[in-house]
Amino acid sequence: MTTTQEALLPGTRRALLHRIAVAQTEGRAPSLVAAVVRDGQAVWHGARTSVDGHGPDESVQYRIGSITKTFTAVLVMRLRDEGVLDLGDPLEKYLPGTSAGEATIAELLAHTAGLAAESPAPWWERTPGSLRPELSDVLGEEPLLHPAGRRHHYSNPGYTVLGSLVERLRGAPWEEVLRAEILEPLGLHRTSAQPRPPHAGGWAVHPWADALLPEPTEDLGRMASAGQLWSTTGDLARFAAFLARGDERVLSADSVREMRTPAAPAEAADVVDGVTYGLGMQIQHRDGRLLVGHSGSLPGFLANLTISVEDDVAAVVLANCTSGPLLGAVGADLVRIVAEAEPRIPEPWRPLREVDPAVLELVGQWYWGTHAFGLRATADGLVSLAPLTGGVRRARFRANGDGTWTGLEGYYAGEVLRPVRRPDGSVRHLDLGSFVFTRQPYDPEAAVPGGVDPEGWRGIG
């Protein structure tokens, strides 16, 4: 992915540079690098560093911590799409003998399996992975803290289990599968399990003094699938474009959209913050914008990947310090700066390539009881149903090829829209999950549930 600096206006580039400069200075980070993606391409790269005459570029590796989990989730989703596993199946079906066997694959992906947040002591991020050679060492004697499926509880052992699942079903080490199925197809040649020069060193910054302490760089061993990877802003920019649009060589647009869809019940604090979790991706509402992605941290490093699919803008921010700059806020601000300064120009309106008379017969105004709705056919081959006076329960529907349509989102997701016809073949009404939509409010000709008063509409007198 080539970075095109001139693709953004000078004022936008300066605002981006100012934001990361403030973050590096106030967060006291030895270095901080960032990239912005728009329309699937990196359009800006910036760096701030405490070392004079040295500015890390988009090829310098930083450790990305738990962003690794999103890569692992993609591998699991590939197995699902190939029919090798089902997300609703228990882990025991594919990886027998663990103490987490009752958890489903979907629960592990969404951190709702009830597993502990961390492996047993000593703290796995600052100790060799050789201390935890088996899954039983990672899970411990009592791995379950909560009933499965009841609450979101972030779990590093959960993603360790998923990495082992990938290895079992692919018959190869997690790192090899990752390289063959994600890194090579997407051209992420500077992403690896072990650091490759040039790479940043990890530092701890003293909380009360401008002093540094080098952090150890441990190989996480079996827990690699939860946080081992090193990467660059250049590679993560490509990965962000993939997570927004999909790539048939790796995972379809529908499957990455599924990963971005909330799959975990939000805690009370999460509701306030507008944060939830999908299948390997964090989801949040910030400043009126829906953002997806993932954060990451390991001793000596911080990382954040933030995507606004609606704005088609993403940001990557990496720093080599244990704590300091709040990269989630920085990433969200970089997206906001570009989205507000240079809003996305919509694609030109284009008409349908072919007009299907059967679809034209369906479009127009319909009533659910006394609620007025409009059904519209769009150039993408879908139909959209929306209330005419605002409100909710709007959705798009995909044709099933048999005259019926399936809802794609919201209240009607998965529900079937079925035209009900008269003996002469004309449409009498629409049936949508037992709701009857008629051309006139409470049309007596249609099978309105409960019937229609035979005296019809009347005045109050």
Q: How many Cα atoms sit within 13 Å of 131 on the Cβ side?
A: 14
DSSP string, 273-316: HTEEE-SS-EEEEETTEEEEEEEEEETTEEEEEEEETTTTEEEE
CA distance 383 to 385: 7
Model pLDDT, residue 196: 97
CA distance 405 to 403: 7
Residue ranges of the chain with pLDDT lower than 50?
1-5
Model pLDDT, residue 364: 97
CA 137 and chain centroid, separation: 30
Crossing angle of helices 67-81 and 156-170, in 10° steps, is 40
- Find the DSSP H helices in 343-393: 357-360
3-state SS assignment for residue 436: strand
Model pLDDT, residue 95: 96
Whether 104 contacts 88, CB under 8 Å:
yes
Tokens of 104: 């489903």
Model pLDDT, residue 2: 47
Where do the domains of the chain lie, and which CATH numbers do they carry?
5-341 (3.40.710.10), 357-438 (2.40.128)
CA distance 184 to 452: 63
**Percent of the chain, pLDDT > 70?**
97
Neighbours of 67 (CB within 10 A): 24
Q: Which of 405, 346, 347, 401 is nearest to 376 (CA)?
A: 405
pLDDT digits (tens, 9 = 90+) for 91-121: 999 999 999 999 999 999 999 999 999 999 9
Model pLDDT, residue 330: 98
Return the ∠ at Cα 263 (arms to 237 and 118), rounded to 5°.
80
Q: Which of 317, 157, 166, 151 is nearest to 231 (CA)?
A: 317
Model pLDDT, residue 272: 56
DSSP string, 380-419: TS-EEEEEBTB-S--EEEEE-SSS-EEE-SGGGTTPEEEE
Whether 366 contacts 438, CB under 8 Å:
yes
Classify each residue of 79-91 as buried b or exposed e, where b means 16 or more C-beta atoms within 10 Å of its C-beta.
Answer: bbeeeebebeebb
DSSP string, 216-229: P----GGGHHHH--
Crossing angle of helices 67-81 and 233-245, in 10° steps, is 40
- Pairing relation of β-strands 203-205 and 212-214? antiparallel
> pTM, whole model, 2 decimals?
0.89
Model pLDDT, residue 269: 64
Q: For residue 106, give the H/E element and its range.
A: helix 105-109
Return the ∠ at Cα 206 (arms to 204 and 212), rounded to 5°.
55
